[in-house]
Amino acid sequence: MAETKVIPDKAVKEITALFHHVPKKSATCIEALKIIQNHNRWVSDDAVKELAVLLEMSPDEIDGVATFYNIIFRQPVGRHIIHLCNSVSCYILGYEKIEDHIKNKLKVGFGETTPDGRFTFLPIPCLGTCDHGPAMIIDEDLHRDLTAEKVDEILEKYQ
């Protein structure tokens, strides 16, 4: 019986196309993880093992890179990813109220996904919009100057 591959062939082609730009295959690790995530929505343990063979690295080395970056997901995620900025600036501007509001509204904590698979809620150290905090990104959309009411309006747009 043939072994099932987790990394799609199209992703493998995208990854191997990077090799001629670098002296070592391992130099493409971050980009390769992003490619896998773009195809699979997250990077599974099996994907890490397959990538390790492709990049001539150990699975532990790949996992070390993947877990270092908070935008590489090592567990399944919802259809929409909420990254709430927890920087000092956002904290001073009301981060805790927004965090509590989102947790209560969605009934999830950080690192959790709503039961319907709609949202995954994650902290992020800084979004670089310190003069307009509190702030969050949903998928790739930046939302600034958050209030509880504004959060409710924003969340309704993401089905």
Region(s) of the chain under CATH 1.10.10: 9-68
CATH 3.30.930.10 for domain 80-156, yes or no, is no
Region(s) of the chain under CATH 3.40.30.10: 80-156
Q: What is the pLDDT of residues 101-151, one digit of tens each?
A: 999 999 999 999 999 999 999 999 999 999 999 999 999 999 999 999 999
pTM of the predicted model, to two decimals?
Answer: 0.83
Return the residue matching tokens 């295959």: 25
CATH 1.20.950 for domain 9-68, yes or no, is no
